[in-house]
Amino acid sequence: SQNRKYVIAVLPGDGIGLEVMPPALRCLEAAAKRFGFKFEFREYPWASCIYYQEHGVMMPSNWKELLKACDAIYFGAVGDPASVPDHISLWGSLLLFRREFDQFINLRPCRLIPGVPSPLANRQNHTIDFVTVRENTEGEYSSIGGRIFEGTSRETVIQNTVFTRQGVDRVLRYAFELARSRPKKKLTSATKSNGISITMPYWDERVEEMAKEYPDVKVEKYHIDILCAHFVQRPHTFDVVVGSNLFGDILSDLGPACTGTIGIAPSANLNPVSSKDDSAKEWMPSLFEPVHGSAPDIAGKGIANPIGMIWAGQMMLEHLGEKDAATAVIKAIESVLARGGTNLLTPDMQGKGTTQSLGVAIEQEIINVV
**For the window 300-319, what string marks contact with ligand NAI as x by the rule CB under 6 A?**
----xx--x-----------
One of 161, 294, 314, 354 touching ligand NAI (CB under 6 A): 294
Residues in 240-299 that interact with Mg ion by CB under 5 A: 249
294 contacts 300 by C-beta, under 8 angstroms:
no
Residue 104 or 163 with smaller CB distance to ligand NAI: 104
User: Would you tell me how many other CB atoms lie within 10 Å of the CB of residue 365?
Assistant: 20
Nearer residue to Mg ion within complex by CB, 135 or 249:
249
* From Mg ion, ligand NAI, none, interface partner of 293 (C-beta below 5 to 8 A by class): ligand NAI
How remote is the C-alpha of 260 from its chain's centroid? 17
Residue 138 in contact with Mg ion, rule: CB under 5 A:
no
Among 16, 133, 179, 329, which residue interacts with ligand NAI (rule: CB under 6 A)? 16
Least distance (Å) between residue 108 CB and Mg ion: 9
The single residue among 18, 24, 70, 77 that binds ligand NAI, judged by CB under 6 A, is: 77
The number of residues in the chain equals 370
C-alpha 181: how far from chain center: 20
Q: Can you spell out the DSSP letters for 19-54?
A: HHHHHHHHHHHHHHHHHT-EEEEEE-S-SSHHHHHH
In sequence order, what are the residues at sequence separation of 6 or more whose Cβ sits closer than 8 angstroms to the Cβ of residue 361? Answer: 336, 344
**C-alpha dist (Å) from residue 312 to 79, 134, 287, 292, 298:** 19, 16, 9, 11, 21
Q: Is the Cβ of residue 23 or residue 263 nearer to ligand NAI in the bound state?
A: 263
Question: What, of Mg ion, ligand NAI, none, does residue 262 touch, CB below 5 to 8 Å by kind?
Answer: ligand NAI
Torsion 301-305-308-314 (CA) sign: positive
How far is it, in rounded angstroms, from Cα 239 to Cα 369? 28
Residue 213 binds which of Mg ion, ligand NAI, none (CB < 5-8 A, kind-dependent): none
249 binds, among ligand NAI, Mg ion, none (CB under 5 to 8 A by kind): Mg ion
Closest approach of ligand NAI to the CB of residue 210, in Å: 29
Q: Is 257 in the site for ligand NAI (CB under 6 A)?
A: no
**Helix locations, the chain, DSSP H:** 17-35, 49-55, 63-68, 86-91, 94-100, 165-181, 199-211, 224-233, 245-258, 307-320, 323-339, 355-368
Stretch that binds ligand NAI, among 27-35, 120-128, 286-294, 329-337 (CB under 6 A): 286-294
Nearer to Mg ion, 138 or 249 (CB): 249
- Residue 140 or 289: the one with the smaller Cβ distance to ligand NAI is 289
Q: Which of 25, 30, 72, 94 binds ligand NAI (CB under 6 A)?
A: 94
Given the DSSP bridges, would you call strands 287-290 and 145-148 parallel, antiparallel or unpaired? unpaired
Is 293 a residue that touches ligand NAI (CB under 6 A)?
yes
Distance, CA of 241 to CA of 176 (rounded, Å): 10
Q: Is 73 in the site for ligand NAI (CB under 6 A)?
A: no
Can you state the percent helix, strand and coil of the chain, rounding each to 5? Answer: 40, 20, 40
> Least distance from C-beta 247 to Mg ion, angstroms?
11
Q: Which residues bind ligand NAI (CB under 6 A)?
A: 16, 77-79, 81, 86, 90, 94, 262-263, 289, 292-298, 304-305, 308, 346, 348
Q: Which residues bind Mg ion (CB under 5 A)?
A: 249
